[in-house]
Chain A
Amino acid sequence: MVENTGATPGAGALRPLNKPRPISIEVNEAGQPVTIGDGRRRWLISTVTQQWRVEDEWWRQQPVRRMYYECVLEDGRRLTVFQDLVTDRWYDQAG
């Protein structure tokens, strides 16, 4: 296993774009998102059009394990969210 150096790649000179934004999600029994909230109001998810899993950097101490969902909200907007399978937190992913 590669030791975590504690260094963020390119910190200081580089500012990552499209950083995930924490959101609040309610899931059904199957673990799929049903509503999305931003702290002020909630939206119903009408359909989940795609879902895929990303497993990366498994050789690091903090691997990346995410379950992505592409959702269509009740007002027609499309949103890509993911569940961080390491921390169990949900994020909105732009880009």
Chain B
Amino acid sequence: MATFGRLSSELLPLTIAEHSFYHKCLPSGLRRRPILHVACVLLPHFSWQVEVLRHPELRGRPVLVLETTGSKTRVFDCSPQVTDCPQGMPLQEAMARCSGAVLLEADLPRYRVIFERILDSLEQRSPEVESAGLGCAYVDVRGLEKLYGGQVRLAMALLHAVPAPYQAQLALGPGKFPAYVAAAMAAPGQVRQVSEDTQRFLAEFAVDILPVSWRTRTRLRSFGLHTLEQVAALPVGPLQAQFGPEGRLLWEFCNGIDRSPLMPRRPEVTVTERLTFPAPVVSMEPVLTATETLLRRAYARSEVRGRCARVATLQAQVMRGPVWERRVAFSQPAGGKQRAFFAIKSSIESLVLPGPLENIALTLSGLTGDIGQQESLFADVRRRENLSQALRQLEARLGKKPPIFQVRDVEPWSRIPERRQALVPFVP
């Protein structure tokens, strides 16, 4: 019975087959049903798994998947046997810890395409699926239990949505972070469930599990904070003072608070055109010619006709190398091939190709209906619309909400100056 006591009050580690057996055996008082809103589907070492499926000879060998940004190369993923090289660690440090590892350059476009397919498959089980980076997805499971005939069947349906080689781990929890932690602790093909006392459940986990940057985790350790319990015991103020908004967030996570709503994927209309070169190309001229051809085809498509595109993405397969990708966000939405080509040309013509390109694909995204600038009698309304358009353009360019705020009076009468005004996110 001691086992049952632990199961009910802390964590329910259960395989799908075991679940119904345990549940029947539990005394009725212990059959607590925590409110489970979110399922976390975790595919650990997803990028490495993709590489191993492509190159099976890598299985069993220490592998570091690397990402280069500017002049810095950092660890993006690693094989399971490499335990002390977390994501974000600089290459030099990783090599010092794991000198015999096979080094691979991350093929991000390929990982994204495969992960998108997995998300599509999850979306067939639940309409609300959030992508939380490669290898991690959150699924809104509210109301689905009855539809699937119980929690176990629901969990099984979600697990079966992921192809078996990716060894999905699944957990159900009241919020995204607790569900993520439980999923990280689950064995492949296993389902876990967070108990009601989320704070107690999280207490003993190491700070490495926090979804913050490697730098922040290193700083936490340098302050002598190794477990979530130690962080949770601190007042929120000093953490905010040290880490800014991220400090408050990690304090909330450690205390089992995760208010972040599930942000489901938005269906987006994109248009992709592809072209294969007769022979691998090594100079930029044929790439530009191909881009112009692809733009002509893309703008002739019915989905784009009469609309503008905010972003163009070029992807090309490099011979014996990872996919080369270039994203060009237009300063103004481009409603025609000439304008788009001019922007793409000025962005890529001075680049050096990473190797011979075998094919090229162009994707237009961020499609908008505004193709002209109509004058309006109501200048104020027009100004707000223009601002709104400019913000959307900035969002497409930055890949996230632009940091634009406006000053608002909050407590103008306050005797404390910093309480009088505040910056609020600008919504036109």
Chain A residues within 8 Å of B417, by CB: 18, 93-95
Stretch at the interface among B213-221, B331-339, B392-400, B418-426: B418-426
Contact A19 B418 (CB under 8 A): yes
Contact B416 A56 (CB under 8 A): yes
Contact B416 A17 (CB under 8 A): no
Chain B residues within 8 Å of A8, by CB: 236, 240, 248
B410 interface hit (Cβ, 8 Å): yes
Expressed in whole angstroms, the Cα–Cα distance for A45 and B417 within the complex equals 22
Q: Which of B235, B248, B410, B416 contacts A14 (CB 8 A)?
A: B410
B342 interface hit (Cβ, 8 Å): no
Expressed in whole angstroms, the Cα–Cα distance for A15 and B422 within the complex equals 5
Chain A residues within 8 Å of B421, by CB: 16-18, 95
Contact A13 B236 (CB under 8 A): no
Chain A residues within 8 Å of B425, by CB: 13
What's the dominant secondary structure at chain A's contact region? loop
The chain A residue with its CB closest to the CB of B420 is A95
Contact A20 B418 (CB under 8 A): yes
**How would residues 233 to 250 of chain B score, 1 for a CB under 8 Å from any chain A CB and 0 otherwise?**
001100010000100100
Contact B236 A17 (CB under 8 A): no
Chain A residues within 8 Å of B236, by CB: 6, 8
B22 interface hit (Cβ, 8 Å): no
The chain A residue with its CB closest to the CB of B425 is A13
A16-B422 contact given A6-B236, A64-B416, A93-B417, CB 8 Å threshold: yes
Interface residue ranges, B against A (CB under 8 Å): 235-236, 240, 245, 248, 405, 407, 410, 415-425
Interface residue ranges, A against B (CB under 8 Å): 6, 8-20, 54, 56, 64, 66, 93-95
What would 15 A/B residue contacts be, using CB atoms closer than 8 Å? A6-B235, A6-B236, A8-B240, A9-B419, A10-B410, A10-B422, A13-B424, A14-B410, A16-B418, A16-B419, A16-B421, A18-B421, A56-B415, A56-B416, A66-B416
